[in-house]
Amino acid sequence: MGTVSGACHPAGVTVADQIEDLTAALPAPPAGEDLQPVRDRLAEAAERAVALLDGHSAERALPLRLPKGRVLDLLSCERLAVARHAGPADGGGASVALLRGQALDRFVQHELHEGPVAHPLEDLLAMVHAEGDLDLGDELAAAGADLRLEPLAAAARDWAGTDPGWWPRTQSAVAVHLADGLVRCEGRIDVELGGPLTGRPSVVVEVKVGRPHASHLGEVTHYALLVALRDGVAPSLLARWYPGTSLAHQVVTLDTLDSAARRLADMIVSWAQLQAGRPATERSGPGCAWCPDADRCPSFRPPPDPFDTEPEEVPA
Amino acid sequence: MSAAASEGARRELAGRAAARLGEALDLALGDTFRATAKRPRDGAGWFDVSGHDLAAPCPARWSVAGDDFVLSTRTVAGALGRLALRERHPDEPPGAAVDRVAGDLFAAEADAFYIDWFEGLDRAGRAAVRAAATTWAVGALAAVGGRELRWQTTRRTCNVADRAVRLRGGCDALDRVARPEVLVVITGRALGDDAVRVRAGFEALVDGMPRRQTVDRVRMGSAASAVTRAFPVTEELLDAAIGRVAELAAYRAVPDSAPAVPGRWCGDCPQLEVCPEGSALMAAGGA
Ligand code: SF4
Ligand code: SF4
């Protein structure tokens, strides 16, 4: 699959340099009619899902929404997905890891649009306040030094020098609506570069704190599918950026898209079945760590240490 | 249909829509909200209906006058993004155009509603706004397939005859070639939603009443799915908007008639403290 993961990059090699190199001689990505089988597969799943719900008491679940987070939850554990849909994860706010992820997203944004972050916490709070998210601002301020922001801000310097000709944009929305809009698969991409209007290949980058994990790979291939269906042409390059390492990247093939489409089709039908009353299955795993039902689920297992796994394969 | 006949038909459509809106508001408002003088600068005694209000999820919240508009990246991204697209040089990356206009907002748009807020932000806050505006601008261009449009930076308004009611449009662009036949509006909603159809009718109404002639089509665009959907302007489309405006007006005229519909929007509702439904929802852990 051409994945390079976790390698420290040589000093001075920016993300921009890597993207220029990686996209210099890529094969043409799947496009147009190539994508029809993928579209058909999802359309069929969406029709099945709507048929399960339409005209029954479960009809209130329409339109059926599958944001990226729900797809990942379903892949992890159905009961987790149902529990998170029913209410907030807990009353205690976001974890430090989650807050660090939010910080890193913004430091990359800052680097792309304004240059280096000068005062990590101050600048982060200024960005979050401009976004009007006062609750997140309070959580970040309360976490303070626990966030260890300096290394994240320094790592974001890797994004310096990105050519504006790539039309870099952050937190861009992507959506695929199926069955006349009754099934909606949606997400937000950390960084998009290039694409049909730019004259350059399309590149999707997910910004990640910490070490590589199987779910990250599932996430980017899910985005590749949504972008392919949105633009009518798949991204040429999928990448994950972990601070201080080279881009973990892969070229998008029809197989990548087909496997992501099979997974998403299964999740669409599963979510419809769950909304129609099928009991959720339980599958212990990393999700137990943030599951709202952890204190009452018989299948709960203390989550494995994510540092023990170094996955390279998309889960089937 | 010849061009002249077409224009005549569109004039008739606008005239009939204005008359039907007047009738619908007579029913909804009765003797309340009659315009007895020119609208004061601060809008006191009047109420506005914007495209955003049409999708107000809780009638009880809408029924109480109050300005809960907050300046943030979310509410400013589109305005700055449209300004950048309007000023963009051929082949200039949208992000570079955003940076250029944001670098000297007074020169680009001295009366932008967000100018004082933006200029008061520090470097990082402005970076967040420019990032959001760039994403908006690229998404908008993708939705319309890169087509050259006249991006609009000022919003149309239309005072309803004899009523203390102002309609505030949110058209993002006009078709450069067919002007004024097509209005383009970028929406975050799925294009199949009925709310999108109502919004299209509303934009046609706000544009068409002052000009006494409707456009041919309103094209709604979705950045997230990079598509547009055209809504031909018909009596039916305009009626959908008129019906919704009248419904909202009736809630304002008789606030007790407006049901409370709690949901995730309760969190920032100014009435939360005095609203039993919203308080109950929050006590139960939110939506
Ligand atoms: S505790 Fe673990 S197994 Fe149980 S529902 Fe939550 S994620 Fe699933
Ligand atoms: S608190 Fe909620 S239910 Fe009550 S008026 Fe506000 S939005 Fe409506």
Same domain membership, residue B169 and residue B40:
yes
Q: How many Å apart are CA A184 and CA A72, to the nearest integer?
A: 15
Same domain membership, residue B120 and residue B160:
no
- Which of A46-60, A162-176, A198-212, A220-234 shows the lowest per-residue confidence on average (mean pLDDT)? A46-60
pLDDT at A4: 36
Domain map of chain A by residue range?
Answer: 15-88+163-300, 96-159
- Judge whether B225 is closer than 8 Å to chain A, CB to CB: yes
In the numeric block, which tokens belong to residue A285? 């795993």
- Judge whether B230 is closer than 8 Å to chain A, CB to CB: no
Q: Which atom of ligand 1 is nearest to the CA of A280?
A: 5
Please determine, for residue B128, whether its predicted confidence score (pLDDT) is greater than 60.
yes
pLDDT, mean of residues B173-182: 71
Distance from CA of A266 to the nearest CA of B (A): 22
Interface test with A, best of B89, B118, B134 (most A CBs within 10 A): B134
Same domain membership, residue B158 and residue B230:
yes
Query: Across all residues in chain B, what is the average pLDDT?
Result: 92
Please determine, for residue A88, whether its predicted confidence score (pLDDT) is greater than 80.
no
Distance from CA of A168 to the nearest CA of B (A): 7
CB–CB contact B73 A131 (8 Å): yes
CB A277 within 8 A of CB A57: no
So what CATH class is A15-88+163-300?
alpha beta
- Which of A218-232, B117-131, B270-284 shows the lowest per-residue confidence on average (mean pLDDT)? B270-284
Task: Classify A198 as helix, strand or coil.
Answer: coil
Q: What percent of chain A has pLDDT over 90?
A: 77
Q: Which atom of ligand 1 is nearest to the CA of A294?
A: 1
pLDDT at A157: 96
Strands A64-67 and A169-178: unpaired
pLDDT tens-digit readout, B57-98: 999 999 998 777 889 999 999 999 999 999 999 999 999 999
pLDDT at B228: 95
pLDDT at A306: 56
Same domain membership, residue B222 and residue B88:
no
CB contacts of A174 in chain B (<8 Å) are 224-225
pLDDT at B268: 86
Which residues constitute the domain of residue B219? Answer: 7-55+151-257
Interface test with B, best of A127, A149, A198 (most B CBs within 10 A): A127
Please determine, for residue A55, whether its predicted confidence score (pLDDT) is greater than 60.
yes
Count residue pairs from A and B with Cβ separation < 8 A: 126
**Is B270 domain-assigned?**
no
Q: How many Å apart are CA A172 and CA A186, to the nearest integer?
A: 11
Q: Is A299 in the pocket of ligand 1 (CB under 6 A)?
A: yes
- Judge whether B32 is closer than 8 Å to chain A, CB to CB: no
In the reported structure, the alpha carbon of residue B83 is separated from the centroid of ligand 2 by a whole-number distance in angstroms of 34
pLDDT band, residue B182 (cuts 50/70/90): confident
pLDDT tens-digit readout, A214-267: 788 889 999 999 999 999 999 999 999 999 899 999 999 999 999 999 999 999
Cis check: omega of the bond before A63, within 30 degrees of 0:
yes
Our count of domains for chain B comes to 2
Task: Classify A279 as helix, strand or coil.
Answer: coil
CB–CB contact A131 B138 (8 Å): no
Same domain membership, residue B239 and residue B162:
yes
In this prediction the pTM is: 0.92
In the numeric block, which tokens belong to residue B52? 């955003």
pLDDT at A131: 97
In the numeric block, which tokens belong to residue A156? 């974001």
Q: Which one of B82, B112, B146 terminates a domain?
A: B146
- Which of A175-179, B78-82, B184-188 shows the lowest per-residue confidence on average (mean pLDDT)? B184-188
